Structure 1
Amino acid sequence: MKQLKLSNQLCFSFYALSRLVTSHYQPFLNAIDLTYPQYLVMLSLWEHETLSVKALGKLLMLDSGTLTPLLKRLESKKLIKRSRSKTDERIVNIQLTAAGTELKARAADIPEKISCSMGFTPEEYQTLKPMINDILQRNQEA
């Protein structure tokens, strides 16, 4: 039953690669006192400045039950602030604080450090990134 060999499983390759990539981020994120999921939240906010919890969840493909504890920890670090929308109290908006904005400069070289530490060539990046995005998009729409 060749189809049940671990080495033939695409899911295992994705899983192992995900763990490897995350492990490469860890020393750089430790230096700025963020976990990998917190870093993803901060990347989203550095790009958009203000997001609702719902919009952030959609961007990160996370539900509010997963996001809420993450946001509480970032708020306790004084990197973000959460507030209810003035026009609709059901909506919780997330904004960067001054400290959250300042952290962006300290994190600016992380993507380049990751490429170097993983040995990615620009060609590999240009090939892999669109393929991965396409797979994600096709499966989000399904």
Structure 2
Amino acid sequence: MGRIGDAARVAVAEQALAAYAQLTKPERHDFFVMLRDRFNSSPEAIRAAFAAYDADPSARTLVPLFNAVEPPRQTLLRRLNTAPGATLKLVHMRADLLKAIADDPELAPLDSDFGHLFASWFNRGFLTIQRID
């Protein structure tokens, strides 16, 4: 999804979310395992970025450290969120994840990613108050 245009990225996000919705419970577990294992931060990149920051603790070296520490799965989730109605689908995906964590606690790091992203997406500054009656 990184090397395609915006319209294509939205279409791919829609297809990916639709495909996820069709997964069975065991397939969803496998999907979460894949996210955990294949879309995790690189320990080597973190070590290298930290070594640079440790040698020169400045804003210039902090940004690469920040980028190295953030798991690529957060970027994937952000890109999935570009599809129409995706935020609610990602909330449901997190609900599936929480159920999966009950059976497999090793998936817990994924919940931190969802929590981090949702905290920024649902912050008070983005809320709109409307009267409902």
| TM-score of the alignment, normalized to the shorter chain, above 0.5 | no
Higher relative contact order (CA 8 A, sep 6+): 2
